[in-house]
Structure 1
């Protein structure tokens, strides 16, 4: 595997259309049950599912002119749990998208799925739809981890769902969570090895985070669950990175690893600052100049859309906002921060500020520069968010 610093935007784009075009994100705000760590918007009641699908279709029509006039390269169903949609509901959404938008010849169309939904019949349904990429939320192959997180599936379902998916889909990503209280290095290594043995080409892996007002936070405060150990999480991260590097994966973003040709085009476009349209309750959109986000309430969202009203807020981005976001996203990736691009996009003031703020980080060997591009070093990788904050411009 090539070293992180040897990657450039051109090399990534040579692998496909990852950084081109625009995308559509569709938020499906339903789950069978609430995971203890999750703070995303969702409902465990499916009563309004059909109404919600109709509202999604109408919002797509209402907002079809918001993106630049170029083909849609990626369509991403996130959530929540998009695999709770049946084939009829998925096809209804696709009919609207294909009727209202120009779609690229070979778009990447991803559906997030939970293992307990992926029966053989469900896999066959999805394989007969326009979905061509599955992102399976396994998180762990061990019962004790799944119970702590309150996942809806068990370890056997996790393994079976992937084996079924492999029979119908080539492009599969699997989510794993590390830093779980009580998870040993050996158990974490086994989680990784299971995916390698199955031949999964893309892995997204995240440290367990204690978000405010979640069940996990309350359990830790009451002593029912041990606190998250940052040192253990850092060890898990290093094990993950080393193991996947040796297995031929590219660590192309802090939480994402892919075999060549299997990088997420949807996520890559986001990190490159490409425009996307977010549809559904709580969904965010970006057009290069402003951000918009829908109300995080299913009932109010549906009522507004039925009246042809858009229940969203808008934030106009300043040049400083755009600079800070560029720093944040690029440092997390193997693209790095291109000094020439900083000067072109944001001007000499921001370039000189960045250079000044970087000096100490270079001295601490947390940053390095090659070919006029700044990258985080291996030493600094697990500290990327803090490093980015040190480079932000504060008005």
Structure 2
């Protein structure tokens, strides 16, 4: 029975069963597949047959994971990767040629920034940037060589919200490819394709896994674009392992219930921090004080699990706050069952200049919390004692 309900799709989408008719999808730990005869082998390599050939190309476990994400995002097709960054790099590498131009929001993940600044220019691929509140300036950045508009929403790490519908209109008007990193929201909270995105990228390592176990990434969207990504990746090898795909596919079965609790906890934490005298500002999409609160309510089902706040005292206070933490984890990951605190200015975005960080909303005292599933009383207790020790 087909269903459009997210939770049912996450649980009941199963690519195939073996002859044993197992209830839970088995692991297909094989590097390759056999053929019935020479003609079967020839036809398979000539793309006359849709079948598994080699696990770098496809595997029942990766196919199931991709199918689930496609249904959740409303996408036509997809391909999975060994990590979120391999998904981002491979997608751009597959779609762009030497001399092409990207327009990106200036507030994106630090490794993505590094890719735009230091890696893609090796192939004469350039990037121009717009600020989160200056979408009206995007059209002035468009060149004859522009091919892609790229953004995250919510952004990493300042959880700003971009108007996806407005980005979609601009991209369609100028026949550009709109790519959205939907990692912070997941397909449970937001589906960018509904607002005009052509491709959606996830670091499945984060909330999709949800327990800090495995790496993974996925790109889904228009079939014609995904085919280019697939052909590039089939030959260059950034494929997701069957084991990790199996873990991630099982994780999707609990994504909705986990996200409901993550979001509930995060809103409580954000509300607590907003009233603390050692905190300058708190950013959480579903706080009414968030600059894009109404837009967040329009685009997202709930506010996600990331809370960003600025402690008083700048970069030294930010580092001291982390040193004061007792219960929460100090890690650069996010989306875990365990709450994680990070100081972006000295970790994920440390390679940017201070000026570049400030342009993306990363002040010296900015702290990012990935709110987990612990009891909120315990999370608040740890945050409160860490703040109290600041001078």
Verify same fold: TM over 0.5.
Answer: no
User: Quick check: which one's strand share is greater?
Assistant: 1
TM-score, L = length of structure 1: 0.30
TM-score, L = length of structure 2: 0.30
